[in-house]
Amino acid sequence: MKIIHTADWHLGKNLEGHSRLPEQELFLKDFVRICEREQADLILIAGDIYDNYNPPAMAEQLFYDTLKQLSRDGACMTVIISGNHDNPERLTASGPLAQEHGIVMAGTPNTVVPPGQYGKNRITGSGPGYIHAEIAGEKADILLVPFPSEKRLGELYLNAADEEAKKAESYERRIRLLFSRLAEEFRPDAIHLVMSHLFVMNSTGDGSERSVQLGGSYLLPGDIFPEQADYIALGHVHKPQQVPGRQNALYSGSPLHYNQREISFGNRIIAVTAHPGLSCQLQSIPLPVYKPIEIWRCKSPEEALARCEEHSGEDSWVYMEIETDHYIHEEDIRTMKKLKADILSIRPVFPEDVGSPHTSGPMEDLPFEVLVKNYYKKKFQTEMDQETLDLLLEIMQDEEDLP
Ligand SMILES: [Mn+2]
């Protein structure tokens, strides 16, 4: 069976108020082409289809058009789970209509997908959080764990008059219990798949899910997934990566760079060849950059103007940082924007800021220590003494070490 794994499309997402739908449309066309070329039997979309609870109508239309094409008249099954950005009810509202196109949708961890014919394939059995499918003559069991927020996880156990579940009070222990129970649904002669949208520890920086990282309780260890799984398709982290210590657990990453912190890595989708009882073969399929996000650091307003003229024909998003000793004239700003479309911001960098950590990159990339020192200096006009800094770092460390 050929499986294609993708996630974090964030359809309808803006960049500084500019729509990314034209780029997303280009990606979706490529995606349909790739799935057809690979003759995908099963497509897994691991959450954050949309960027928010009320996506623009255009984004929904794009999504439905794409799903219909992916179906190849019902030959291919597509399984979709919701991420933290999706509205589970809205995402899955079209479920009954989508069934004939082989589309399976799960909004929350307690979703029960009805068994039956899905296009040319079948779901032969199901329960909360899993399906038993027959796809292209092979059996596949898929555990479906859409974004398991505290609340949704709570609902899952609400009616369970079950001492073990109630005792599993910590988030991590409850998720672990959930996965180990669901793994009991794996049949010995089927391909064992897991889909989820969550944050596993050691996944490295992408920026877009920063609040979740800081939320602490949502961080999970990489060994949380069932041992028996042949492939684990994850969403949530935008940088493609493997879960440390778990070769077959991957974040496919998002198809586009969604902010300037994401431009350092390439976007991709994952192709998986799987058969019951055999280990999976993974292949990474790179995606083009449809419209790059660039940071232009210019030594003067004149250089900035020249650069705008030189690159006026290029289709890119640009953040400009311009070294200057005076505010940049309105007229120059207008000229720059006229010469080069899609300048997202123009930031003057004054002599006193040159070389300071603030200008070396986005603030979020700086170590905590540097941020604190900068803040302290700004606030009190004096350097923070080492003792105070050490104390603060110690407290932060203790916080991180909490179970
Ligand atoms: Mn997410």
Identify the CATH number of the domain in which residue 156 sits: 3.60.21.10
pLDDT digits (tens, 9 = 90+) for 251-268: 999 999 999 989 999 999
Distance (Å) from CA 310 to ligand 1 centroid: 38
Q: What φ, ψ does residue 139 adopt, rounded to 5°?
A: -90, 135
Based on the domain organization, do 247 and 310 belong to the same domain?
Answer: no
Distance (Å) from CA 237 to ligand 1 centroid: 7
**Residues 6+ positions from 57 with CB-CB distance below 8 Å:** none
Distance (Å) from CA 84 to ligand 1 centroid: 5
Based on the domain organization, do 273 and 312 belong to the same domain?
Answer: no
Any idea what the Cα angle at residue 44 is, between residues 97 and 10, rounded to 5°? 85
Domain's final residue, options 261, 286, 311? 286
Q: How far apart are the first and last CA of the chain?
A: 40
Domain's final residue, options 231, 261, 286? 286
Based on the domain organization, do 314 and 280 belong to the same domain?
Answer: no
What domain range is 134 assigned to? 2-286
- C-alpha 90/C-alpha 108 separation (Å) is 12
Domain's final residue, options 286, 320, 348? 286
Based on the domain organization, do 242 and 340 belong to the same domain?
Answer: no
Maximum separation of any 2 CA atoms in the chain, in Å: 72
- C-alpha 392/C-alpha 292 separation (Å) is 39
Beta-strand ranges (E) seen in 219-368 are 219-220, 231-235, 241-243, 246-251, 268-273, 281-286, 293-298, 317-323, 343-349
Distance (Å) from CA 389 to ligand 1 centroid: 33
C-alpha pair distances (Å), 67 with each of 73, 101, 275, 327, 370: 11, 8, 25, 50, 47
Distance (Å) from CA 208 to ligand 1 centroid: 8
Tokens 């077959």 correspond to 248
Any idea what the Cα angle at residue 200 is, between residues 152 and 370, rounded to 5°? 115
Based on the domain organization, do 347 and 255 belong to the same domain?
Answer: no
Q: Which residues surround ligand 1, an ion (CB under 5 A)?
A: 48, 83-84, 236
pLDDT digits (tens, 9 = 90+) for 79-121: 999 999 999 998 888 877 899 999 999 999 999 999 999 999 9
Based on the domain organization, do 74 and 41 belong to the same domain?
Answer: yes
Distance (Å) from CA 353 to ligand 1 centroid: 35
Based on the domain organization, do 47 and 167 belong to the same domain?
Answer: yes
pLDDT digits (tens, 9 = 90+) for 296-313: 999 999 999 999 999 998
Mean pLDDT across the chain: 87
The total of structural domains in the chain comes to 2
Q: Give the type of residue at 232.
A: I
Higher-pLDDT residue of 348 and 160 is 348
Lowest mean pLDDT among 148-152, 243-247, 312-316, 320-324: 148-152
Distance (Å) from CA 48 to ligand 1 centroid: 5
Distance (Å) from CA 332 to ligand 1 centroid: 39
Based on the domain organization, do 278 and 306 belong to the same domain?
Answer: no
Distance (Å) from CA 361 to ligand 1 centroid: 24
| Alpha helices in 104-195, H assignment, sequence order | 150-158, 163-167, 171-182
- Paired strand residues for 269: 285
Closest CA to 83 of 3, 217, 179, 198: 198
pLDDT for position 218: 65
Assign 346 a pLDDT band (cuts: 50, 70, 90).
very high
Based on the domain organization, do 310 and 277 belong to the same domain?
Answer: no
pLDDT for position 290: 97
Q: Could you tell me the CATH number of the domain that includes residue 346?
A: 3.40.50
Based on the domain organization, do 382 and 353 belong to the same domain?
Answer: yes
Based on the domain organization, do 128 and 266 belong to the same domain?
Answer: yes
pLDDT for position 341: 95
Based on the domain organization, do 244 and 393 belong to the same domain?
Answer: no
